[in-house]
Amino acid sequence: MVTTRDGRALAVRPILPSDAGRLVAFHHRLSADSIYRRYFSLHTELSDAEVAHLTTVDYVDRLALVVFDGEELVAVGRFDRYPHSTTAEVAFVVLDTLQHQGVGLALLERLAAAAWARGVEEFSASTLATNRDMLAVFYDSGFPVEVVHDLEEVEVRFAIEPTAAARARRAERRDRSRAPGSP
């Protein structure tokens, strides 16, 4: 379960091949800006092959988590381990109306814990240099983020070991969300 900053309780579970239709519907609800920030292009339609690839994972080297508000898919996050390594690429996208509600960070935390349990030690990600929201999620995680800037893209790498610093940041966020009067 993920509780948003505005108090909504959302369900989280691993993706299933039967989520294909929900994934396509979710993609159609994303704004052009969210699609561009996720795919680095205006990728308005997912092909059948892409949907099959995105919904069929081995739950070890490739894992995707989906977030639901009732029956509606509202976010997806995934990691894909690089072959013969302890590094995985991480990516996620959240429905525009739920951005800035802590969903992306909650996905990152869950993906890191699952990846760590499967022998992944480091995440990498590519994002647009202008995607400050995604960069904020990485920095807010408490993991030791290393960034390499290009003119248009940013490469991010960070160890996902559950360190004291990462656990402290998570506890701090949890305490803040429980405080009286918190959004």
Domain ranges of the chain: 2-177
Q: What is the pTM of this model?
A: 0.89
Q: One-letter amino acid identity for 2?
A: V
At residue 93, the 3 state secondary structure works out as strand
Q: How confident is the model at residue 81 (pLDDT cuts 50, 70, 90)?
A: very high
Strands of the sheet with 87-94, listed across from one edge? 2-3, 9-14, 62-69, 72-81, 87-94, 122-128, 153-159, 145-149
Q: Count the Cβ atoms, other than its own, within 10 Å of residue 183.
A: 10
Q: What is the rounded CA–CA span in Å between residue 155 and residue 172?
A: 27
Q: Which CATH architecture group holds 2-177?
A: 3-Layer(aba) Sandwich (3.40)
Closest C-alpha among 78, 35, 31, 83 to residue 53 = 78
- Cα Rg for the chain, rounded, in angstroms? 16
Query: For residue 35, is pLDDT > 90?
Result: no
Kindly report which listed range (4-8, 24-28, 38-42, 115-119) carries the lowest average pLDDT score: 38-42
Closest C-alpha among 95, 105, 103 to residue 23 = 95
Query: For residue 59, is pLDDT > 70?
Result: yes
Question: Beta partners for 147?
Answer: 156
Q: What is the rounded CA–CA span in Å between residue 92 and residue 86?
A: 20
Mean pLDDT for 88-93 is 96
Locate 85 and state its tokens. 């390594």
Q: How confident is the model at residue 178 (pLDDT cuts 50, 70, 90)?
A: low
Query: For residue 38, is pLDDT > 90?
Result: no
